[in-house]
Amino acid sequence: MNIRRWIGLVVGLLAVSSSAGQEVHWLRYQTSREPWQVLGNYDRIEPQPLREAPQGLALPQFASPDPLFVQWETPMVEAGRLWLALDRSGKDELPDRLYVDSDADGSLADEQPIKPWRVDPPVCVFGPVRIVFPSADGPIPYHLNVHHAVHEGREVIQIHPGGWYTGRVALGPHQRNLTLIDWNVNGAFNDTSPPFEHTDRIRLDPDGGIKEHLVAQYLQVDDQWFHAAPARDGAAIRIQPIPQDRIPMGRIRVPLDVVLLELRGEEGHVRVPLTEGIGKVPAGRWAIHQWQISRRIGDDTWVLWAENRTEAGSFEVKPSGEGVEPTFIPAGDPLILKLTAAKRPYQPELLARVYGETEPIPLHLNLSLFLETLFGERVTRISTQQGAAPDTPRLHIRSRDGTYDRTLGVMWAGPNNSFHGLRWRESRCAGGPYRIEIEYPDYPFAIEKLLYTLNADGTLEAHRTPDMPQIVSGEFFTVDLRPYCNQPLAQPPSGQTPNDLANLPLGRRKLRGVEFDIVDQTQNDGKSQIRLISSQHRPDLPRQIVGIDVGGQKAARLYFLHAMEWGEEHLEPPKAGEYRIYYQGADDTQVIPILNGTTIGEWWQPKELSQACVGWSGHNGWSRVGLYVYAWQNPHPDRPIASIDFVSDDVGPVLSLIAVTGEK
């Protein structure tokens, strides 16, 4: 719809329904060859350059025999695209002439060459380049900035926005500075989600909430809601307030330590007010944009920020109503350190022309390391409130034949405490494939460990949750705890957010390579774990459970799936209890100390320990929770085991035993 018809429709709507409070704001058009100085962050597109001239395109007289052609897609012309061409005036120079179909007539033959305003090998920049779109109401101006660069042996063309609209608008009782950005750089300013990378942006300043909004169904400013509809050419925007009681709202639920949550979706971009982990948003399909966790650990408060730039992990929020539970959003840890490898092809002729490179350049890989969540959000900050960062990881890279064996360190990058990428150069992947093991520091958040294999062709394979290193035979038997369980894993429904292990998978499950039998309380009189006394917290529980029958099985190792509650509050003494192992036909007993922070850990916010690993983790609505697997090496593997005692020292923590497995 052209701008005059669009405004005519708006005027008609205002005449019919002035009480709705909708208002049209005209905006000013601004241009710059350096838009980052005004806009800061913005998107760009990277079309694939072509060497062959498009069929039917009228061409100017080029100076070089090998110009580059670029197709720019835009809905503002009937053909859906315009053509650009880059030419060189000299044989050994970068492109220094740009031809643009600036009048959208499908021809470059009538265009004059545009010279770059910046030439800084291997980069040259043109713009802002003026384009005029035809319309029934007259010409519509638009501007682009075109960047040409040589990056790792290949020619790259980037198209940046060269113009945008700004103005002062009324949003409720407040005036805001509004900037309208053609985010996907296609000439139109009213593209709506999804996908988010193709959605235009409305930027508001000052604004105590979200600064950058999607052009979508709803615009949230403070605690008010609006509908904002930009004209296609960006010259005006219609804004209408919407009472919240006219918006179908749904409830969401997040872990309690989430202190900030922003969502993006078809309905817009919202910052969700949270009370006890519960918030309300317009019903519809959403995805996480960013979240922040604040967690007290010892004397420090740790802050974790994560951002999702895609639509990965989208979810549906249903309108609130009787029987409709809040949609749970698993924001937070566990985290993974994601490793990527990039290998780019080289163009020897181009490198020789631009850099004077004549020697063959060895194959090299860019190894990039990122901290992410299991659901794809990328961590952008991890630090204390005072800005202290945790230690950085290290990469141990070893070839199969041992000819390459090195450990590489990484550094934090900038104020957000993200990682620098690593550049790893090798003339060939000799001795490959490579095993890459990440050496993890002691993070204040749960980490799911990964191993990587780097193949000879430069591809990378990730291997999740490595098995317990103590596993040898892999022949397991499980100990039946059903007669001894005294507490449930899942609390009965009460209308409150449960603080339990209801999400733990039941039955026979392999955790870290060990097969466990996890009791289903619905099949065992409502009981599925053994819990022991804490006089301070749970004096109603028993001090010990004795005589757990092992049935005379022989075991080289026993694996305990267990955890503790209130362990962080009672770190001293470290010994919280013990397992006692009784052999058939023998008087001696093996005593296995249960050590807080070493062989067992806190069930809230589980993390890897020196002698135990996180076997399972999940969310319960209050926190990330988990269980630990501890492996005990039996000094008498040939003796049949008669029974096990589970004993608490009653020093503060509540001990929980979920499953026991033996390995033959």
pLDDT of residue 345: 52
- Nearest-angstrom CA–CA distance, 214 and 207: 15
Structure confidence by residue, pLDDT tens digits, 463-522: 777 788 889 998 999 999 999 999 999 887 666 667 889 878 889 999 999 999 999 998
For 389, phi then psi, to 5°, come to: -100, 155
- Nearest-angstrom CA–CA distance, 431 and 456: 8
123, 11 in Cβ contact below 8 A? no
pLDDT of residue 13: 37
- Nearest-angstrom CA–CA distance, 518 and 474: 18
C-beta atoms surrounding 513 within 10 Å: 17
369, 395 in Cβ contact below 8 A? yes
Q: Specify the residue for token string 């022949």.
A: 475
- Nearest-angstrom CA–CA distance, 263 and 212: 12
Residues contacting residue 192 through CB under 8 Å, at least 6 positions apart: 199, 200, 214, 215, 216
C-beta atoms surrounding 398 within 10 Å: 16
Structure confidence by residue, pLDDT tens digits, 138-175: 999 999 999 999 876 788 999 999 999 999 998 888 88
Give me the CATH topology for the region 476-663: Jelly Rolls (2.60.120)
| CATH of region 335-464 | 2.60.40
For the chain, how far is it from start to end, CA to CA, in angstroms? 75
Q: What are the boundaries of each domain within the chain?
A: 33-161, 248-328, 335-464, 476-663
| Tokens standing for residue 112 | 């004059």
- Nearest-angstrom CA–CA distance, 449 and 369: 13
pLDDT of residue 505: 85
- Nearest-angstrom CA–CA distance, 328 and 250: 12
Structure confidence by residue, pLDDT tens digits, 286-340: 999 999 988 776 677 888 888 887 666 788 999 998 888 888 888 877 788 888 8
Can you list the residues of the chain whose pLDDT is less than 50? 1-19, 361-363, 415-421, 423, 425-430
What secondary structure does DSSP assign to 362-426, as a single string? PPEEEEEEEEEETTSPEEEEEEETT-PPPPPPEEEEEETTSS-EEEEE--EETTTTEEPPEEEE-
pLDDT of residue 496: 67
- Nearest-angstrom CA–CA distance, 651 and 600: 14
What's the pTM?
0.70
pLDDT of residue 340: 81
- Nearest-angstrom CA–CA distance, 88 and 62: 8
| Tokens standing for residue 478 | 């499980």
pLDDT of residue 93: 73
What is the average pLDDT score of the chain? 85
Assess whether the previous peptide bond of 206 is cis (omega < 30° from 0): yes
